[in-house]
Structure 1
Amino acid sequence: MFEPVTIKDIAKALGLSTSTVSRALRDTHEISAATKKIVLAYAKEIGYQPNPIALSLKERRSKSIGVVVSEVANSFFSQAINGIESIAYDRGYHVIISQTHESYEREVVNVQHLASRSVDGLLVSLSSQTEDISHLSYLHDKGLPIVFFDRVADEINTHKVIANNEKGAFEATDHLIKSGYKRIAHLTSSSFLSISIERLSGYEAALMANGLSVNPAYIKHCPHGGMLYEETENAIKELLALPEKPDAIFVAGDRLSTGCLSVFKNLNISVPKDMAIAGFSNSDVLDLFNPSLTSVRQPAFEIGQLATQMLLQLIEAKYPVEEFEKKVLDTDLFVRNS
C-alpha cells in the first residue's frame, strides 16, 4: 500500500524535531537559513508533498472546486472544462469533475458527494431533468459558493455565465429562412431548461420577424437532450408524419444536432435536399461531416474561464458578496452546406 512521506519521516532522517521541520517547510523566521536549506533539499529529494487534508483542516479550505456537467463527451462541456482548469490550476486549485448524464437523481448524489468532500465551491450546469433545485439552494444558503454556467437556475442569487442563446437561435433560424425554407421545425431539450427557453425564444422571434407563424406541432422536446437515440428518432419521425412536414429544422443542442444527422442518415433523408438543418454545436469536426452542419458555436472555453474566475472571487472574498452578475457571451454562426 502506498504511504506518503510525512514530516515525521523527514524529522527522523535529519535528526530534527517535527516542529522544526514543519516551521522550515513553512519558511518561518524562527528557523535558520541553513536548517531551512537542509530540510527543503531533503524534502525535494524524497518527493515530499504537504498533506492536503491536514492543510484543509488548518486553512479551512481544500483548494479544490467541484464541477457538475451532463457529460464530458459533449463538445461544449469538454471545452468549458478546459477553460475551468486553465484558471483553477494556475490559482492553485484542483478540479473534481462529476457527470449527471442528464439525470436529476445523479445530479443530487454528485452535488452531495462533492459537498461532503469539502470542496471550496461548485461550478454547476444543470441536468436536463432538473426542476427541483432544493439540493443546491440548501448548500447555497449554508454559504457554499456556487456559480452556474450554460444551464442556470435563476432562482438562486449568484453569479451566472451563459452564451447569448436567444441571439444564436435567431441567427440560425433566420439563416434557414433567408435560404428559402419556410416550414422550420425546432428540436430542443426539456421545456424548463434555461437554454431551451432562451433558444426557443430566439427561434420564435426569427419566424415572426420574417412574417412566419409559429406552429406548435413543429416544436419537439427531447427530455434527455439527445442522450437517447430513440428519443431523437421518434421526434423526427413525428415531424415527418405531419400532413405538412417541415422543410428545415433548427436544433437547440450539441448532442441533438449530431444525433439528428445520424437519424437523417438512417432514415435516408438527404440533407439539405429533403430537409435542411442548422443547430447549436461546438464539435471541432463538423467540416468532416457529410453533409457538414451549419452551426451556432458558443465560446465554451471562455465561459469556463469566466465562471471559474467568478467562483474564485466568491471563495476568496474577505467579506460576504451581495452583488452578483449574469455574464452573457456572444455566439458565432458558421454557415456550411446543410
Structure 2
Amino acid sequence: MRSGQVTIKDIAKELGISASTVSRALKDHPDISAKTKEAVNELAKKWHYKPNAVALSLRHSKSNVIGVIIPEIVHHFFSSVISGIEKIAHEAGYNVMMFQSNESYEREMANVQALLSSRVDGVLVSMSKETSDFSHFKELRNNGIPVVFFDRVCNELSSDNVIVDDFAGAFTAVEHLINTGCKRIAHLSAPQHMLLGQNRQKGYRQALLKHKLPIDDELIIKCDSFEEALEKTPDLLRLPQPPDAIFAVNELTAAGALSVVKKAGFKVPEEISIIGFTDGVVSRTSDPALTTLEQHGYEVGLRASELLVGRIKEGDMDYEPVTKVVKTNLIVRGSTKN
C-alpha cells in the first residue's frame, strides 16, 4: 500500500498506462474501455486517491471554499452562526475556512489577505470592535469576491447584510424590566461606532421614553465584556441612587454584572434585575439563570451563507445589496422579577 498523497501519475505508472487515460477513466469518459475504467477505479479506491483541490481550483478558477471571519468563537452566538454556515456550505459543496480576528483590526486585515491568497469564492464577515477602516473589505470586492456581513455590519460598503433586530430586542428587554417595576435601568453598552451598539442603545432609550422614564447618562456606560463588567459595575452600585436593573449588551457582560451585584450583597432580582442578549450556556447556568434575548445565531448563519452561495453562483458583482433581518425573542428566567 502506498503512503502519502497519491497522484494520477502514480496510478498510471502502476497500471502501465498514460496519466491522461487515468484522468479520463476517473471521469467515466466513453473513449476508455470498461476494463480500464474498472482497473483505474479499483486502484484509486485501494490507494485512497483524492483529486488535488488546488489543481482543480486553478483549472476551474474556483476553490469551492468560503471564508469566514468572526470576532471570537467562544461566544455562543458566533458558534451557533458557524453551525448554520457549515450546514449550507456543505450542502452546496463548499468547504469553510475559518478565521478569528480576536477583536483586532490588524488581525482582521491579515485574515483578509490570507483569504485573498487562498482564492476563496466568497467571504462571510462579522467585524471586529476595532474596525473603522474598511479598505480591506473593498479589496475583496475589487477582486471579484462577494462579501456578506452578519451581525456586525458595515454601512459604508454596499454589501449584503444579515442582522439581528437589535433595536426591537433591546426595546423588548427594557420594556420587560419596566413592566416588572424597574425605574432606574442601567445600560452596559457596546461601542457606538458599531451599528449593533447604536441600535441596542436606541432601543433602550426608546423604551424609557415610551414609559416616560428619565434617561440618565450616568447609567449608560461603555461595557461589553465579562472583564469590563467586573471592573465597571461597582461604579454603578456606588452611585447615590444605584440602578434597580441592568440591561447588558451581551450575555457575558450580563454574567459579569450578575457576579458583581451578588458579591456586593444585592438580591437578584428582588433589588436589582439583570437582563442580557444571547441565550447561551452562560445564561442558562448562571445563578439565578439570566433573562435574555435569543438572537437565533443558527438562523443568521443559514441566511448569510444562503445569500453568499447565491451571489457566488450568479457570478455577477454588479448586484443590488439586500439586508435580511432576524427577529429576537425574550426568554424570561430568574434574574428578572415576574
Which residue in 1 is equivalent to 2:260?
263
Which residue in 1 is equivalent to 2:185?
184
Q: The residue matched to 2:110 in structure 1 has which SS? A: helix
What TM-score comes out, normalization by structure 1 length? 0.94
C-alpha contact (below 8 Å) 1:257/1:281 kept by paired residues: no
In the alignment, structure 1 segments of 5+ residues that lack a partner are: none
Structure 2 residue 305 is the aligned partner of structure 1 residue 296: no
Which residue in 2 is equivalent to 1:5?
6
Distance 2:260 2:147 in 1: 38
Q: The residue matched to 2:176 in structure 1 has which SS? A: helix
C-alpha contact (below 8 Å) 2:177/2:245 kept by paired residues: yes
Q: The residue matched to 1:236 in structure 2 has which SS? A: helix
Which residue in 2 is equivalent to 1:146?
147
Distance 2:34 2:260 in 1: 70
CA shift, 1:257, in A, is 2.2
Which residue in 1 is equivalent to 2:43?
42
Distance 1:201 1:122 in 2: 30
Provide Cα deviations, 1:78-108, integer angstroms capped at 9, x if missing partner: 0000000011112111111111121112111
Distance 2:31 2:215 in 1: 75
Which residue in 2 is equivalent to 1:337?
334
Structure 2 residue 237 is the aligned partner of structure 1 residue 240: yes
Distance 2:282 2:248 in 1: 17
Provide Cα deviations, 1:52-86, integer angstroms capped at 9, x if missing partner: 11011111111111111111110000000000001
C-alpha contact (below 8 Å) 1:76/1:254 kept by paired residues: no
Which residue in 2 is equivalent to 1:93?
94
Structure 2 residue 200 is the aligned partner of structure 1 residue 214: no
C-alpha contact (below 8 Å) 1:314/1:321 kept by paired residues: no
Distance 1:137 1:184 in 2: 40
Specify whether residues 68 and 36 from structure 1 end up closer, same or farther in structure 2 by C-alpha distance, changes over 3 A only.
same
CA shift, 1:216, in A, is 1.4
CA shift, 1:247, in A, is 0.9
Equivalent of residue 323 in structure 2, options 317, 326, 337: 326
CA shift, 1:37, in A, is 2.6
In the alignment, structure 2 segments of 5+ residues that lack a partner are: none
Distance 1:80 1:289 in 2: 23
Which residue in 2 is equivalent to 1:132?
133
What TM-score comes out, normalization by structure 2 length? 0.94
C-alpha contact (below 8 Å) 1:88/1:94 kept by paired residues: yes
Task: Please report the RMSD computed on the Cα atoms of aligned residues, expressed in angstroms.
Answer: 1.6
Distance 1:33 1:284 in 2: 56
Which residue in 2 is equivalent to 1:66?
67
Which residue in 2 is equivalent to 1:276?
273
Distance 1:112 1:195 in 2: 26
Distance 2:180 2:144 in 1: 51
Provide Cα deviations, 1:263-310, integer angstroms capped at 9, x if missing partner: 334444431133111110230453332111000011110110110111
CA shift, 1:148, in A, is 0.3
Distance 1:260 1:93 in 2: 41
CA shift, 1:215, in A, is 1.4
CA shift, 1:122, in A, is 0.8
Which residue in 1 is equivalent to 2:176?
175
Q: The residue matched to 2:246 in structure 1 has which SS? A: strand
CA shift, 1:241, in A, is 2.5
More divergent stretch after superposition (72-81 vs 27-36): 27-36
How many residue pairs are counted as aligned between the two chains?
Answer: 333
Distance 1:286 1:33 in 2: 61
Distance 1:24 1:212 in 2: 76
Q: The residue matched to 2:279 in structure 1 has which SS? A: coil
